[in-house]
Every structure is written in structure tokens, then in C-alpha cells.
Chain A
């Protein structure tokens, strides 16, 4: 595995990798140890995945296991389902989450329901990967997160890593999982050379084999004044804001959910029980999604945990605009997160 960017003092058993390289490392490891694993999707072969999710895999494993498909998402996602049912472990890439529209039936009526409808007799051990998120003016059809939509539909786990180390461990866990796992990588965490990136997208990744358990949130920064519950690229933004606000004496705890399904409600409750203040940051649409679910978790369990009303920072129910100024007005970027945190700790 090549080290791409200037390493700082690495710990003995880790080195710095971009998230995309960390994902590839996990996939390669599983492909080595399990011949039933294969990767399917558009431009995943010689191109290496539009977002670098398969770089180098074709050379290493050949075109029988790293397979470029026609632009026929219903057919090849369905193919993944069928192969999984017969005991293979496909990883199938939908290039952008936004493209779910052309193939959703295979995903939510088939991939996600077969285990249930068969009374648990038929398993679908597949991973459906996809790029998500905006921030680079790709317009309303190529910038959505949509993880809340997948999470709303029962029967699939929904994993959304924020860091290279988690991305590797969660990919390993996803491939080994006997349930279908939707694995969504925000383009902004991948460490792509052609996109502005947060330095956190290139970070220490342990060598060797490990799983990051799906469904366990991670306190990525512990603090006492306010809890920021978030996921994916917004974790990076929240950490930046937390570091900045530490200088103002505001001690922010940042909880990275890592997955929406299962949702680690215990971790949310534990953190809010400690801080009494909650900000949920989500790059998905505001209504009927992750941010509402997190707040409902508190409301249902014990609304008195909150000393002030919860704050939600999300995309305000508008398609993602193209123009930079408009897009940055609706995305949950540092300015909006900081303002929400300041409101949450006021009074």
C-alpha cells in the first residue's frame, strides 16, 4: 500500500492513508481471504472507481472479480442480490447515491426484504457502496446524501464512515455481515486529489485485519458543554468547530454515529445526559431524517435531559443548488454549525 501524502510520525502499526485507499485495503484483504467476494459497478475496473473506491483492484484480482458493468443499475444490483442469495459476497457500487432512483426497487423491495419475507431462511450478504454528498457544485442530481432515505426503509444496514480508519474497519465488517449493508462514502472524506479536502481525510489507519463494529457510535472528541451528534463529512466540520470553540471556553463533545442503521441510541443518550445540550448536524435533508430521529430519541427517552431545545443543522428541504454561494448557504458548514453550538450553550 503506498503512502500518498506527507506522513507525520506514524504509530508502529499504522500509516496515513486516504479514506479511499483505506477502503481499497479492506476490500483487497477480504478478496484475498474469501474467493466469493467480488466487486461490480460502473467504472470500477481500469478507472478504479470514480471516487477511488477500487483503485488497483483490477490489476490485483483481474476482471472476473472486479467487473465493469453496463449502465444498468437495476440489472447489476439485482445480479448482486441473486449472487448473494447463492452464497457469494458481492460488493456492488452505485456510482452516486442520487442514482438510487433508477434501481430502488431492487434495493428496497428485494435486497432489503428477502431475509424477512423468507422468514430468515434466505440471506443476502451483499454490500451496496455509493458516493454521496455535495460541496463542489455538482448540482441537484449529484450532490445528495440520501442516507436517511435508505435508513427509513427497513432491512438494510446503513454505514457512513467519516475517517480512513473507520472506513477500513467498517468495510471489513460490512463484507462479513450476513445482512445487506449500504455503505455510503461522502466524496469529501475520500481524500481525492481533485477535490478540496479536510486534512482528516488522510489519517492513521491500522495495518492488518480489524473490524469496526457496525452500530457503535464513536465519541471522536469528548467534551462537557454540548453534544454534537453527526456523521460523515460533517464530523470533520464539527471537529474543526469544536477546536475553534475550545479557545472560547466551549467544550464540545462530538459523537460520530458511523451508522444510521443500527442507530446507537445508547451513545446519544449517554452523551446528552452528560452535556444537557444537543446539536445534530446532518448533510442530508432536514425533515423526516437523521436529525429528527436523533432528537426523537431524546424526546422519547427523557426530554428533561435537555437544558435547552435541540438544534438541527441540515439541508433545509431544498434540492442542492448549483451556484457555489447558494450551495454553501444550505450545506451544514462551519459557520452554521458554530452558530448552532453557540445558541445551544447560551443560557
Chain B
């Protein structure tokens, strides 16, 4: 394995984005991001609807921790545009944008978030534990622990003689965890068809990246394990799209894994209820929202007009509200069944 020079940040043009990109693709990226945001705004609304008086985390139709991904949609949209539902995705405690972009059934996912029998895990798992065999989607609440199983899915796809691949997602905070490093090495050594994705939103809860991480770019860590690493700046969906195209093609061709780090944005708190007193960039955050920015760029390029925006937004709203209605109508699991499903 040849050593590669330290990874350089990729510009959108190098990454394969910009005006050359097929308008249909650009529209698709926008649509995915809008659906994800619309969905999470609705989850946010439902989550906070009945937590009071005050804020009781265990109360309400959606109880428990809630990690929303608003601001990070470009990562999921850009990567998942290259996947089919035959490819695997292992996501994190902040999984919704990847689930949406990968085509997980919104109704059953929402029912899971509401803890209902009609949910992906019959209400057993919750929002950090979404398992969808139909789209080979899963996620975990334990930091970096989604990486290793992705190796196994990639291994199985390869042994089964397919060109399917696995995408493994973590945050930048997770890149300081042993499982991250072990996975990069093993996937590299065995040339597994994996695309590693790191969502760098600058924060691991209250700890800034600068305080936790010894390198400026996790792409350098990929290079250290002998695989290509790219860092996409500016939360640029087309940059992600281009980098993912290369990484996915490489994996499908049997050439082994790659890593893509995206400098993205956590628009809201680490979890709902996080006052974010530690966060100095908070006031600025909304002005960096990637969706209005992309919308403006596409309008300027003539790809989007008012009518299309309205159509995309209302379609997203309808799908979302349909999923929420489905969840609310799904039965609460029977307490008598609480010990079911421990074994096959």
C-alpha cells in the first residue's frame, strides 16, 4: 500500500459539484434535504408538545433523548444519492437524516420514534436504535460502534458476490474512539467495500473539536491507514455528492474503502433540552443553514423556481404528516409482551 500525501480539502469544483452537475441530481439533493428538515421540524414539534410543565425528558408521546440532525442534511443527501436500498448504512445516535436519505420507510420509522407496535422495532428500540432490514439501515447510540458492523455487512456483500457496499457514519468526536481506528485499519487491510463518513459538526456535545482532536482533518487519518481521505468544507452538498461518487465507485469496483469527512453544522442542540450555554457560535448558526443557501444557488442557476419549491415542500410536508399520523394511530405495545424478542 503506497503512502499518500496528507489529504487536502477538496473544493466543490474538484469534488464534482457546481453547474456541471445534472439539474435532476441537484433537484434530488435539494428534495432529500427538504424532506429531512421537514421531517425533523415535525419531530421537534411533537417532541416538545407535551414535555411540560417545565421539561421532563421522560414525558410525552416521544419520550427520551432526541438528537436531531438539522444542518447536517448535506452529508446524508450527498452520500445516499449514490446508494440503493441494497446498500447498507450504519448511522449514529443522530440518525434521521441518513434514514430519510436512504429511503427508510417514514411511517414505520416514525412509529418507532413514538414507541409504537407499528414501528421498525415494535417500539423496543427508539430513535437511536432504528433497524430496517429492507434498506439495510441501522444505527447505534454508542459512539463509533456503528463502524465495525458496517465492515461485516460489506464483507458479506462481497462474499455473496454482489457489488453492494456499506456506508458507516460517525461524528468527528467519534473519530477519537478505538472502534474508529480499528475499523479503518481492518477495512483497508482487507479491501472491504466500505465508505466511511465523518460528520464534523465542530462539537461532541459541549466539547469543541479543537479540544478533542489532534489533527485538523480526519481525512489525514484515512491516509494514515493507507486509504483515500477527503475533507469537504463548507457543508457543501454537491461537494459531498462528488466525493461520495468517487468513494462509492471505488468500493463497488472492489478497490477498498475510503473516508469522507464533511465540515457540517449542528443547527440545534446536542439533544433537545440542551441549553448550549457552552456554544459561542450559536447566534451565527442559522445564517449558515445549508438548505436556504442551496435553494438560493439552485434558483440562481435556474434549476428551482417558486412553483417547484412549493411542490417539493408540500410533498415533504404531506409525507411527514402522513408518517406522524400513522405513528399516532399505531397501537402502544402491550406491556405483557415486554419480555418478547430477546432471542430468535
Bin chain B's interface residue count: 35 or more
Among B123, B128, B129, B204, the residue within 8 A (CB) of A326 is B123
Distance in Å: Cβ of B96 to nearest Cβ of chain A: 15
Contact A330 B338 (CB under 8 A): yes
| B 263-275 to A, binary, CB cutoff 8 A, 1 in contact else 0 | 0000000000100
Contact A71 B177 (CB under 8 A): yes
Contact B63 A71 (CB under 8 A): no
**Which A residue sits closest to B271, measured CB to CB?**
A50
Contact B338 A329 (CB under 8 A): yes
Contact B213 A70 (CB under 8 A): yes
Q: Does B212 contact A (CB under 8 A)?
A: yes
Contact A47 B173 (CB under 8 A): no
Contact A141 B332 (CB under 8 A): no
**Which A residue sits closest to B122, measured CB to CB?**
A323
Q: Does A196 contact B (CB under 8 A)?
A: yes
Chain B interface, >50% SS class: loop
- A to B contact number (C-beta, < 8 Å): 147
Among B57, B205, B277, B342, the residue within 8 A (CB) of A319 is B342
Q: Select the stretch in B37-45, B72-80, B136-144, B248-256 that faces chain A.
A: B136-144
Distance in Å: Cβ of B167 to nearest Cβ of chain A: 21
Contact B124 A140 (CB under 8 A): yes
Contact A43 B207 (CB under 8 A): yes
Give every chain B residue within 8 A of A30 (Cβ-Cβ).
none
Q: Does A203 contact B (CB under 8 A)?
A: no
| A 311-347 to B, binary, CB cutoff 8 A, 1 in contact else 0 | 0000011110111111111100000000000000000
Q: Which residues from 295 to 335 on chain B have a C-beta closer than 8 Å to any C-beta of chain A?
A: 332-335
Q: Does B161 contact A (CB under 8 A)?
A: no
CA distance A327 to B124 in the complex (A): 9
Q: Does B191 contact A (CB under 8 A)?
A: no
Given A102-B145, A330-B338, CB of A71 within 8 Å of CB of B124: no
Distance in Å: Cβ of A10 to nearest Cβ of chain B: 25
Contact B177 A141 (CB under 8 A): no
Of the candidates B55, B124, B128, B174, the one having the most CB atoms from chain A within 10 angstroms of its own CB is B124
Contact B339 A102 (CB under 8 A): no
Given A99-B142, A102-B177, A194-B273, CB of A136 within 8 Å of CB of B64: yes
| A 35-52 to B, binary, CB cutoff 8 A, 1 in contact else 0 | 000000011011100100
Q: Does A139 contact B (CB under 8 A)?
A: yes
Contact B206 A45 (CB under 8 A): yes
CA distance A46 to B278 in the complex (A): 6
Q: Does A222 contact B (CB under 8 A)?
A: no
CA distance A99 to B125 in the complex (A): 17
Given A71-B177, A141-B142, CB of A195 within 8 Å of CB of B335: no
Contact A102 B115 (CB under 8 A): no
Give every chain A residue within 8 A of B178 (Cβ-Cβ).
72, 74, 102
Distance in Å: Cβ of B113 to nearest Cβ of chain A: 9
| B 258-291 to A, binary, CB cutoff 8 A, 1 in contact else 0 | 0000000000000001000110000000000000
Contact B339 A330 (CB under 8 A): yes
Give every chain A residue within 8 A of B54 (Cβ-Cβ).
193-194
Give every chain B residue within 8 A of A74 (Cβ-Cβ).
178
Q: Does B116 contact A (CB under 8 A)?
A: yes
Q: Does B71 contact A (CB under 8 A)?
A: no
How many A residues touch B, CB cutoff 8 Å? 43
Contact B339 A316 (CB under 8 A): yes
Given A322-B129, A324-B63, CB of A72 within 8 Å of CB of B176: yes
Distance in Å: Cβ of A269 to nearest Cβ of chain B: 32
Give every chain A residue within 8 A of B338 (Cβ-Cβ).
316, 318, 321, 326-327, 329-330
Q: Does B65 contact A (CB under 8 A)?
A: yes
Contact B123 A139 (CB under 8 A): no
**Which A residue sits closest to B336, measured CB to CB?**
A329
Q: Which residues from 191 to 228 on chain B have a C-beta closer than 8 Å to any C-beta of chain A?
A: 204-207, 211-213
Distance in Å: Cβ of A217 to nearest Cβ of chain B: 29
Distance in Å: Cβ of B199 to nearest Cβ of chain A: 14
CA distance A310 to B173 in the complex (A): 47
Contact A68 B206 (CB under 8 A): yes
Contact A70 B212 (CB under 8 A): yes
Distance in Å: Cβ of A283 to nearest Cβ of chain B: 15
Contact A139 B116 (CB under 8 A): no
Contact B207 A139 (CB under 8 A): no
Contact B177 A326 (CB under 8 A): no
CA distance A323 to B207 in the complex (A): 30
Given A102-B178, A141-B140, CB of A70 within 8 Å of CB of B207: yes
Distance in Å: Cβ of A66 to nearest Cβ of chain B: 13
Q: Does B22 contact A (CB under 8 A)?
A: no
Q: Given A138-B65, A322-B121, A324-B115, list of 15 further CB < 8 A pairs?
A: A70-B176, A74-B178, A99-B142, A136-B57, A136-B63, A139-B64, A142-B141, A196-B59, A321-B333, A323-B115, A323-B126, A323-B333, A326-B124, A327-B338, A330-B338
Task: Provide 6 A-B residue pairs closer than 8 Å at the C-beta atoms, listed in order of the A residue.
Answer: A43-B206, A140-B129, A141-B142, A319-B124, A319-B342, A321-B123
10 tightest Cβ-Cβ pairs between the two chains A and B: A136-B58, A322-B126, A323-B115, A137-B64, A137-B63, A323-B123, A329-B335, A70-B176, A329-B338, A47-B206
**Which residues from chain A sit less than 8 Å from chain B, CB to CB?**
42-43, 45-47, 50, 68-74, 98-99, 101-102, 135-142, 193-196, 316-319, 321-330
